Structure 1
Amino acid sequence: MKQSYYKKLIQYTRRGTILALCSLSLAVQTNAQENKTLKANFGLIYPLSTNGTHAPLDTNDLSVHLLAGVSSVERGSAFAGLSNIVRNEAKGALFAGFSNHVGKEASGALFAGFLNTYRSAKGPQLAGFANLAQADVNGVQFAGFLNATGGNMNGVQFAGFANVTRSLNGSQFAGFANVANNTSASQFAGFINVAKDVNGSQFAGFINVAKKVKGVQVAGFINVAETSDSPIGIINIIKNGEKSIAATIDETQTSMLTFRSGGKNLYGIIGAGYNFKNEDEVYAFEVGLGAHFFQSRHFRLNMELTQSTLESFKEGEYFKSTLRLLPAVKVAPWIELFGGPSINFVSTNTAEGLALHPESDDLVIHTWKNRRSDFRQSLHIGYQAGLQFIF
């Protein structure tokens, strides 16, 4: 009785399975006849796939190829060991060991071991080497080397080497360079940022270049712009800013010839000079940043933070960190006199440096001796006075 029951159950199951497969086959055939599309494509490489030579004309919901696949439109996901090639739109996620290529818009996500190319994109694009877009991109780009967009970029770009776009509504992060005509956020680069109008800020390890900057420019060495009120760099070439050559002297009889350059609020300092207090030849070098306060037609207060060194090109070191307040008076539109107090921290192990700040000096606030080396540190009060020619 039980055996008969199981036999009938097996027969019914077989019949049901056959009926379901026949129904699925009929549905696929009917759909293929009516819509001229296939929902799935499996294969090795074009044309060795289930869609055969018709694959470039087909729309798929799923594509899986051991090497490379070709299709007209991808509505779902596509996987390929090497490359996915979509002649028109891709509305899902594409995964490829080497590259993805989309002829029109990629509105899902692109993941490639080496390269993604497409006309436009909505969604993230990740590539081991480069993402290349002909038109607009709305999303995020991550590339080991380069992101390049021929249109507008609405999102964020991350590249190991460079990001390039026409207009940016977001931020750029690159190991070497960022390039954009207009940007509404910030650029961060290991070496250089280049932009036309920046409604944000620029941060670069070496140089920033822009036309109009509404935020700050921060560079390890140089900032260049037509308008930038708050550049932070050693040299700032601002067309609508201020540049000057100054001659100064401080409490140690160190005379400097310095170049000051910047915008309305901030400026950079670089200079070289000579110390006249030592009998030996001792040269001086200085870099720093400054800020303008309480500006009027004839008066302003400058605050400067500098790092200087004295060098006799013999053994030993001398470093001085200085914070100074310098009231300044313009005696003419192009001549300014300034002078004021400073507080200085000195670290030295040279005889010349120790002689400049003896412990008995009334200006010395405190001294420290390093037990592990022959360096001595001291904190002392000083001053600086000077004359600068503005141009």
Structure 2
Amino acid sequence: MNLTFKNISKAASVFMMVCLFIFSNAHIAKAQEPVSNVHIGFCYPLSTNGSRAGEYTNNASFHVLAGLSKEEKAFSYAGISNVVRDKVSGFQFAGISNHVKNAMKGFQYAGIYNDVDTIDGFQFAGLLNRSATVKGFQFAGLSNIVRNDIDGFQFAGFSNIDGGNFKGFQFAGFVNKVRDVEGFQFAGFVNVAKKVRGLQFAGFINIADSSDHSLALVNIIKNGEKSIGVTIDETQTTVLSFRSGGRVLYGIIGVGGNWKTSTSYMAFEGGFGAHLPLSNSFRINAELTSLYLEDWKKGFYYKNTFRVLPSIRLTPRIELFGGPSLNFSSTDTDDGKKLIENDFWNDYSGDDKRQLFIGYTAGLQIGF
């Protein structure tokens, strides 16, 4: 009985010692994860950290071609590429590309391409940035691609493609595509979003489910307004126009003609407007437009107009409007110079005649 008890006690003691040994070694191994103040090399594994470079945490790294590490604390430079298996803090520079598996906090620059999971700081790429989440400033010469949310400033020479929500300022030379927007969104050609809280501006078209403040020639807003209308002004120019936008701002694009003179002119109109609701059936529309008359031969006539148009709804879909306008015109054609005889200012520069005058616009539009 005593022998058995002693054997059990010895076995338990040995087991406890083995567990303690394993536990202690694990902590020692963890405490001894390799750290380097300065990591210098040509390319992996030709560096001061050798073949274990991917296990090291470095305060500073310098590589002629490419570097590999687990973590960078302050500064990392590579002539071609930096590859980091965990995270980066501080400043990171690569002639071609940076690849960070997890987070980057600080400033990151790549001549061509950055691939990072989470950004907190400033990221710049000559061509492309690709990440999961961004907080801060992101700039790409061509495109930014983000899988999740963005909070900050995003600029791309061509496109921003974001899978999540955006909060801040977004600019793209051609297209922005994002889920929900809170802030300002600008694209040279098209913006695509779901819900927009803020201002959405595009050179040609905005597409959204919900946006009260969309400025583009064409705005396809799911819960917004769209209408086809006919207008006539003081020069007897008649335009068939398409108005589209949200509850507040909208765009105008139209085509028509002027037959007041001996020559028939095609008319092209574009602009922006804002609704000022006063009641369910009455509102005031303020519009800024540009009109261009073309006879496909020679000469030019263009007119910039600010007009205030009281509008009354005859039915839920039919709207009648009309009001005064302030106009500036410029032309070098004989017909164009005869369109307006009464002005309060005019000036000649060579063959060009410029005028300021009061006019009017009236029209009827049908919503759909």
Structure 1 length-normalised TM: 0.82
Alignment match of 2:139 (pick from 152, 158, 175): 158
**Structure 1 residue aligned with 2:105:** 122
Residue 130 of structure 2 aligns with an amino acid whose one-letter code is: A
CA distance in 2, matches of 1:206, 1:267: 16
Secondary structure at 1:325's aligned position in 2?
strand
Residue 80 of structure 2 aligns with an amino acid whose one-letter code is: F
How is 1:53-72 mapped onto 2 (pairs within 5 angstroms)?
55-56=51-52, 70-72=53-55
CA distance in 2, matches of 1:45, 1:162: 29
**Structure 2 residue aligned with 1:338:** 321
Long gaps (5+) in structure 1: 1-30, 57-69
**Structure 2 residue aligned with 1:24:** none
How is 1:1-391 mapped onto 2 (pairs within 5 angstroms)?
35=32, 37=34, 39=36, 44-49=42-47, 51-52=49-50, 55-56=51-52, 70-86=53-69, 88-120=70-102, 121-133=104-116, 135-149=117-131, 151-165=132-146, 166-180=148-162, 181-358=164-341, 361=342, 364-370=343-349, 373-391=350-368
Secondary structure at 1:172's aligned position in 2?
strand
Residue 182 of structure 1 aligns with an amino acid whose one-letter code is: N
Taking only aligned residues, the RMSD between alpha carbons, in angstroms, comes to: 1.9
- Inter-CA distance 50–323: structure 2 relative to 1 (3 Å threshold): closer
C-alpha deviation, 1:48, in angstroms: 4.6
**Structure 2 residue aligned with 1:27:** none
Q: 35-44 or 215-224: which moved more?
A: 35-44
Residue 174 of structure 1 aligns with an amino acid whose one-letter code is: A
Secondary structure at 2:337's aligned position in 1?
helix
Long gaps (5+) in structure 2: 1-27
Deviations, residues 256-276 of structure 1 (Å, cap 9, x unaligned)? 100000111111101010112
Deviations, residues 235-278 of structure 1 (Å, cap 9, x unaligned)? 11111110000011111111110000011111110101011212
C-alpha deviation, 1:45, in angstroms: 4.6
C-alpha deviation, 1:110, in angstroms: 1.4
**Structure 2 residue aligned with 1:26:** none
- Inter-CA distance 71–367: structure 2 relative to 1 (3 Å threshold): same
CA distance in 2, matches of 1:293, 1:38: 65
CA distance in 2, matches of 1:119, 1:51: 20
- Inter-CA distance 271–170: structure 2 relative to 1 (3 Å threshold): same
Secondary structure at 2:314's aligned position in 1?
strand
CA distance in 2, matches of 1:90, 1:336: 64
- Inter-CA distance 381–43: structure 2 relative to 1 (3 Å threshold): closer
Secondary structure at 2:72's aligned position in 1?
coil
Residue 158 of structure 1 aligns with an amino acid whose one-letter code is: F
- Inter-CA distance 35–254: structure 2 relative to 1 (3 Å threshold): closer
Residue 320 of structure 2 aligns with an amino acid whose one-letter code is: L
CA distance in 1, matches of 2:327, 2:142: 40
Deviations, residues 147-172 of structure 1 (Å, cap 9, x unaligned)? 110x2211110111111112101110
Q: 135-144 or 242-251: which moved more?
A: 135-144
Conserved 8 A contact 1:230-1:264: yes
CA distance in 2, matches of 1:380, 1:323: 11
Deviations, residues 13-50 of structure 1 (Å, cap 9, x unaligned)? xxxxxxxxxxxxxxxxxx99x94747465555555555
